[in-house]
Amino acid sequence: MVVAASIRNQRSDDGFALLKRDNTARTSIGVAIDESALAGREVISRQGANWLFEPSLSGEPRYTARELSPTTWPDFERLFSKHGGVGGCWCMYYQRPHGGTMKGLTPAGRRAKNKLDKKLLVDDGRSHGVLLYDRENPIGWCAYGLKQEFPRIDSGRNYRRMNLENDPEKLWRITCFFVDRDYRKKGVAKVALTGALSSIKAKGGGVVEAYPVTRKSAKAWSKWSNWFWFGTESMFEREKFKVVGLMGPHHLLMRRTVKP
Ligand SMILES: CC(C)(COP(=O)(O)OP(=O)(O)OC[C@H]1O[C@@H](n2cnc3c(N)ncnc32)[C@H](O)[C@@H]1OP(=O)(O)O)[C@@H](O)C(=O)NCCC(=O)NCCS
């Protein structure tokens, strides 16, 4: 049995972490994932079926990745429903230009609106992300999309303070990771990131930016990975992202170019 501490997700006005700790003891249901089965797995994109990874040729064919789409919506719904819509957010926070659109709603009303609006955006092709599966079971999520899909990033105080020069012609963003609580710390987020980059490549590439938690903050917050929805510095470093600058006290702006 592993005792973990959880925190409730809370974001500041620009979406960066506000800590609120809840030291509830939890039993972690350990699920063995054969990480060696991931090594050397070729990332491919099969048009139509939207599968991003081929089943591993050796070991168990554990992870596969698929694009979020009207077809895979029920899987996204399943993963998020298992975790209360992930704080009720349904990965909508950065897709809204500001919080004002939710004013006057009760918490239950906000949760319902987030879910409904996410579904509408998915149906309309305006919300992107990669779902990761353990066999048929959706276990991980990485949200990505063109800059226009995440207007809340632009209105964030810390982002504005970066005083960035003109945007690159095609600017992509990687904004959120989510991994089933029973599968954490087993490399799922890292694989989801590879999947998102593969999707961006298949869509013509461009400059990709991310806002990971700095190493120092990740170390300090180690028990509370609920605050790592932007991913960690090391995850992006491994994928050849370079630091553009510090964004507030706990986050970096990192970028890389993905060729088509
Ligand atoms: C953050 C999260 C996505 C990480 O997923 P994961 O599959 O456990 O991560 P991985 O095992 O792929 O590890 C990725 C990196 O993060 C680090 N990491 C993960 N959890 C960590 C923790 N609790 N403390 C410190 N580092 C941690 C790993 O060590 C690894 O670093 P490395 O690249 O140096 O090896 C997962 O904990 C999660 O979903 N948390 C909730 C986030 C959330 O609420 N998202 C909703 C936004 S709407």
Domain ranges for the chain, please list them.
Answer: 6-258
Residues of the chain with pLDDT under 50: 1-9, 18-49, 55-60
**Predicted pLDDT at 32:** 30
**Residue 115 · residue 73 · CB < 8 Å:** no
**238 Cα to the center of ligand 1, angstroms:** 14
Q: Is 4 exposed, middle or buried (0-12, 13-18, 19+ CB in 10 A)?
A: middle
Nearest CA to ligand 1 atom 47: 229
Pocket test for ligand 1, best of 225, 229, 252 (most atoms within 8 A of CB): 225
**Predicted pLDDT at 131:** 96
**Predicted pLDDT at 159:** 94
The ligand 1 site (C-beta within 6 Å) comprises: 9, 86, 89, 91, 176-179, 184-190, 218, 222, 225-226, 228-229, 232, 234-235
Residues with Cβ within 8 Å of 187's Cβ and at least 6 positions away in sequence, in order, are 33, 35, 38
Choosing among 3.40.50.1220, 3.40.630.30, 3.40.50.300, 2.60.40.180, the CATH entry for 6-258 is 3.40.630.30
